[in-house]
Structure 1
Amino acid sequence: MKIGLLGFGKTGKAVAAVILQNKEFSLEWVYRRTPHLEGRNVPEFLGIESDHPGRVYSAETIGMSALLAQHPVDLIIDFSSETGIYTYGEAAAELGVKIISAVSHYSENEKELLKKLAEKTVVFWSPNITLGVNYLLFAAQFLKKIAPWVDIEINEEHFKEKVGTSGTAVKLAKALELPEEEINSVRAGGIVGKHEVIFGFPFQTVRLIHESISREAFGNGVVFVAQNIKDRAAGLYKFEDILLPYFSTEQN
């Protein structure tokens, strides 16, 4: 499966490192807004032995339509920004290139664009693409279903530079029908990301905790999603759509 990557910050680099070491995929290119690093070979830049092409291109030098024509891919992975979808969305959808977006926040305009693109190709979006945190989301919903009257608190901790409430925490709050304003946020040091859901029962508590130890966890999540959407029909998918079959108690 040939892959193109948008977003080459700390998380993007970690995701690229995971993809480069997976034999099922080939990282064809990384696309950046600025020409910084343009022409560099990603495996060499990251110090990873790999035969993936992995060349860096920039929007200042080549447009997405031209890039897809010259270096076609099966899947685009987006770790860029809220507006990144406008850079590649239409071009990818026209060619049937699958899209995995791990952008934390989208406005209603971008969400509508995702739905539009999903009419032509597979579009997957998750504010947090780590497998563990999405398992936490499922488990939390099941526990609340068992005890809908339980007291619930959501805590999220991230690195000091992270702006705004965690998109994952917001998603947890919505799934558990809690006000977003009641999310407890901490910003300190080099915390990668931690989410905790506390269930307060009479005489006992249950704590569900997910902590990202390394940003490579996002790469593992991308690989899991890519493996599970490769044969899907066009449409807009979320993590629940992929995980639900795994929660079946029936034996295959």
Structure 2
Amino acid sequence: MKIGLIGFGKTGKAVASVLLQNKNFSLKWVMKRNHTLENRNTAEYLGIDSDETGRIYSSETTPIAELLDSQPVDVIIDFSSGTGIYTYGEAASKRKIKIISAISHYTKKEKDFIESLSKMTTVFWSPNITLGVNYLLFASKFLKKIAPWVDIEIIEEHFKGKDGISGTALKIAEALEVEKDEINSVRAGGIVGKHEVVFGFPFQTVRLVHESISREAFGSGVIFVAENLRDKKEGLFNFEDILTPYFAV
């Protein structure tokens, strides 16, 4: 499966590293905003022995439509910014290229836009694309269904520079009907990402915890999603759509 990666920050680099080391995927190119590292070889830059070069391009000098025509891919993975979808979404959807977005926050405008793109191609969006945290979300919903009266606390911890409440925490809160202002946020150096849901029962508690040890976890999640989207047609998908068949008993 041929992959194009949008965004090459800390998480984008970790995802590229995982893709380059997976023989079932071919990282054809990386697109970033500025000129830094332009025309460099991703594998060489990351110190990975790979047959795939993953050449780095700048959106300031290389039009995305031109890149998609000269180096076509099956899937575009987006780890850029909330507005990054506008730089490639239309061009990708017209070419029936699948889109996997791992952007934490979208406004209603962006959500409406990806909805329109999904009428032409396969679009997947998840605020957190790690498999573990989405399993936590599933398990939390099941426990809330069993005991709808239980007390619930949500705690999210991230690195110091992360702005706003975690998109994943907001998604968990929405699913469990917890108010946004009741989410507990911690920002401190050294933390990649941690989400905890505390269920308070009489005389006992249940804690469901997911912690990202390194950003490579996002790369593993991308691979899981891409593999499960392989045969999907047009439409907008999320992790629940992908995981639900695995829970059939």
Q: TM-score range by the shorter chain?
A: over 0.9
Provide TM-score, normalisation by structure 2: 0.99
Counterparts of 1:71 and 1:17 in 2: how far apart (Å)? 20
Question: What residue in structure 2 maps to residue 81 of structure 1?
Answer: 81
Alignment of 1:1-252 (within 5 A): 1-249=1-249
Counterparts of 2:53 and 2:10 in 1: how far apart (Å)? 20
Counterparts of 2:211 and 2:174 in 1: how far apart (Å)? 20
RMSD across aligned positions (CA): 0.4
Q: In the alignment, is the contact (CA less than 8 A) between 1:64 and 1:87 conserved in 2?
A: yes
SS of residue in 2 equivalent to 1:81 = coil
Offset at residue 13 of structure 1 (A): 0.4
Matched residue type, 2:88:
Y
Contiguous gaps of at least 5 residues in structure 1? none
SS of residue in 2 equivalent to 1:100 = strand
SS of residue in 2 equivalent to 1:39 = coil
Counterparts of 1:46 and 1:108 in 2: how far apart (Å)? 36
Offset at residue 248 of structure 1 (A): 1.1
Q: In the alignment, is the contact (CA less than 8 A) between 1:26 and 1:53 conserved in 2?
A: no
Matched residue type, 1:59:
S
What stretches of structure 1 move > 3 A for 4+ residues in a row?
none
Provide TM-score, normalisation by structure 1: 0.98
Counterparts of 1:231 and 1:21 in 2: how far apart (Å)? 23
Offset at residue 207 of structure 1 (A): 0.1
> 1:107-160 deviations in whole A, cap 9, x for unaligned?
000000000000000000000000000000000000000000000000000000
> 1:182-222 deviations in whole A, cap 9, x for unaligned?
00000001200000000000000000000000000000000
Counterparts of 2:191 and 2:170 in 1: how far apart (Å)? 18
Matched residue type, 2:112:
E
Matched residue type, 1:103:
I
Percent sequence identity is 70
> 1:52-82 deviations in whole A, cap 9, x for unaligned?
1300001111100000011100000000000
SS of residue in 2 equivalent to 1:22 = coil
